[in-house]
Chain A
Amino acid sequence: MKWVGKIAFYFLVTLIVFYAVFPFYWAVVTSLKNGADLFKVEWIPTSPTLVNYRSILTTDSFLQSVLNSVLVAGATSLFALLIAILSSYSLSRVRFRGRSLVLLTILSVSMFPQIAVLSGMFELIRWLGLYNTLSGLTFCYMALVLPFTVWVMRGFMKSIPKELEEAAILDGCGPTRIVFQVFFPLMKPALATTGLLAFIAAWNEFLFALTFTLSSDKRTVPVAIAMLSGGSQFELPWGNIMAASVIVTLPLIGLVLIFQKHIVSGLTSGAVKG
């Protein structure tokens, strides 16, 4: 009877894989169809074509939005890492009065519903003259990204053996050198993981990007894709939309699969281990 169980188990595994991957597979299939083929349900496109890809890759506004997203997400994760490596040292290595309060504050900011800061942020960004700019988006993404960056980095830094720091102190290293010369080299994988998580968060963000940009040349990818439309509400260019979706999703899937072990440990250290 053992093989019955085994077959059932692998059936379950297949079912899970199908469930997880099918929608993306369907997007790929759709992106390879054109004209009337789009409206036929076929598992494998009978006459695959790259015409959707050609059309989306020659659309200036789409390319501009990819560039915008890269700039905003890159700047956001860079700033967040830079600030977070310093504070995560304080929060993981030094005991001082008020530490729990700071930790609680950071944790609760990471739980903020974005809508709660939307109107205040709108006012602030307009006052700073950053409305409809990429720097304005980077500015408000710090609210989104910084708290969990600190939290995840703190988890990584806690795992560095304290003997290392003690030895550095005895050698006369001040805190700045401990962070940048002793810990920094050891933290490289952690920085890559945290940076990637921050990048993905900023890359995927929609509410701020939708509200704080106005012109199409300042849109990020999610807004651009949400706004892709055809001649009327009823003839959406599904081939183009799916081609654009596949183009911006493939690199993410690739990165996530390459870093999957680290990502999982980063995510879980943030949420489970506190």
Chain B
Amino acid sequence: MEATASVPVFPIDRPASAFKRWQQWLLYSRVFWAWVFLAPTLITLVLVAGRPLLGTFYLSFTDAELLTLDDSVTWVGFKNYAAILSDPDWWVALRNTLVFSFLSVVLETLLGLGIALVLNEEFRGRSFLRAAVLVPWAIPTVISAKMWTWMYNDMYGVINAGFMALGLTSEPVAWLSSPSTAMFALVMVDVWKTTPFMALLILAGLQLIPKDVYEAAKLDSGSPFRIFFKITLPLIQPTIAIAVIFRALDALRVFDLFYVLIGSKVDTGTVTIYARQRLMEFQEFGVGSAASVLIFLFIGSFTLLYLWAVRPQRDEA
């Protein structure tokens, strides 16, 4: 409608009713073509997202197994869900997922905020710094996981060498072997990999703040700390909120990092590792699907939170 609202005067040699008809026709044809153009996207999404999602829901109520997937399956009701909810491994995986997501999102936000503040200053070498910060983001997760596995190596890893040189540890630590240090190690890799994203989002928010706000604050002789807490932080708070939810959604479904760094071990794994293990390694398609549905519902509630957070901007044209 925004295009037709200000359509200039229709050629004056025609009657006004012709103009009305033309305008009406234009409106209808625009809406018609809008749906025609949407059709490929909607059909694709139904095929690649809607249909598989329904499939997962359906399988979660059956006794399907990987090898008998093509034969008929039997409806078992909520049996698979009961099996998962009474499995202690599921709760361990859920706890691991929550701890991992919480720790990494908090660290990423703090670190990202710090880097964004530095990048927001004007100094020589700023574009170099921004380029350097983008490097972890550009590296595929599997590869960064491999790089860090090597750095964490208990015998020859550079991290142990560094920690021992600094006197932080007296002997090499097998970081990835015990659940407690493994969680710490995994959080560190995730923080390294995704802080750039956080920093760039927060930087975008910082750059939306008008310069004169700061000049006014300086005239009032506010100290840098006061300016930060009283002006900057409140103004970028909405950006940070959205970035945090966005990252949390990502962290809650983490898979590659855990799979490459420690493999399918449930005591240090996440819910996605758990579900995939039931599906593909134990070949229990019914139970695995039920776990997937639970993850979907769990993350779905976070998604609603996100949609609610971006709601004000959603409908401006």
Q: Mark A residues whose CB is within 8 Å of B.
A: 9, 12-13, 16-17, 19-21, 23-24, 26-27, 30, 38-41, 83-84, 86-87, 89-96, 100, 102-109, 111-124, 126, 139-140, 142-143, 146-147, 150, 158, 162, 165-166, 169-170, 174-176, 179, 200, 203-204, 206-207, 210-211, 221-223, 225-226, 238, 241-242, 245, 248-249, 252-253, 255-257, 260, 263-264, 267-268, 271-274
Contact = CB atoms under 8 A, between A and B. Distances in A.
23 contacts: A16-B118, A17-B128, A39-B155, A86-B40, A94-B30, A95-B1, A104-B307, A104-B314, A105-B45, A113-B253, A117-B52, A117-B53, A118-B275, A121-B55, A143-B52, A222-B143, A248-B143, A249-B139, A264-B204, A267-B201, A268-B200, A268-B201, A274-B310
Given A83-B44, A124-B51, A272-B205, A203 B140 contact: yes
B296 A112 contact: yes
A179 B40 CA distance: 15
Nearest to B144: A23
A142 B209 CA distance: 36
A253 B139 contact: yes
A255 to B, nearest CB: 8
Given A16-B115, A109-B49, A249-B143, A86 B295 contact: no
Nearest to B296: A116
A30 B149 CA distance: 13
Interface stretch (B98-106, B179-187, B238-246): B238-246
Interface string B225-247: 00000000000000100110010
Nearest to B246: A271
B25 to A, nearest CB: 12
Contacts of A94: 1, 30-31, 33-34
Nearest to B43: A83
Contacts of A169: 3-4, 7, 26
Nearest to B285: A119
Contact of A162 (B3, B29, B249): B3
Contacts of A123: 52, 55, 59, 69
B279 interface: yes
Contacts of B49: 109, 112, 117, 143
Contact of B55 (A84, A105, A124, A203): A124
Contact of B136 (A20, A146, A221): A20
A43 to B, nearest CB: 9
Given A21-B135, A119-B292, A226 B34 contact: no
Contacts of A39: 155-156
A103 B53 CA distance: 19
Nearest to A117: B52
B48 A87 contact: no
B197 A267 contact: yes
Interface of B: 1-4, 6-8, 26, 29-31, 33-35, 37-38, 40-42, 44-45, 48-49, 51-59, 69-70, 115, 118, 121, 123, 125, 128-144, 146-148, 150-151, 155-156, 158, 161, 192, 196-197, 200-201, 204-205, 239, 242-243, 246, 249, 252-253, 255-256, 259-260, 271-272, 275-276, 279-280, 285, 288-289, 292-293, 295-296, 299-300, 303, 306-307, 310, 313-315, 317
Contacts of B150: 26-27, 30, 238, 241-242
A150 B41 contact: yes
A174 B135 contact: no
B123 A211 contact: no
A34 B313 CA distance: 55
Contacts of A16: 115, 118, 129, 132-133
Nearest to A221: B140
A93 B276 CA distance: 41
Nearest to B192: A23
A179 B52 contact: no
Contact of A118 (B1, B115, B292): B292
A49 B28 CA distance: 68
A249 to B, nearest CB: 5
A174 B33 contact: yes
A169 B143 CA distance: 50
Contact of A113 (B135, B156, B296): B296
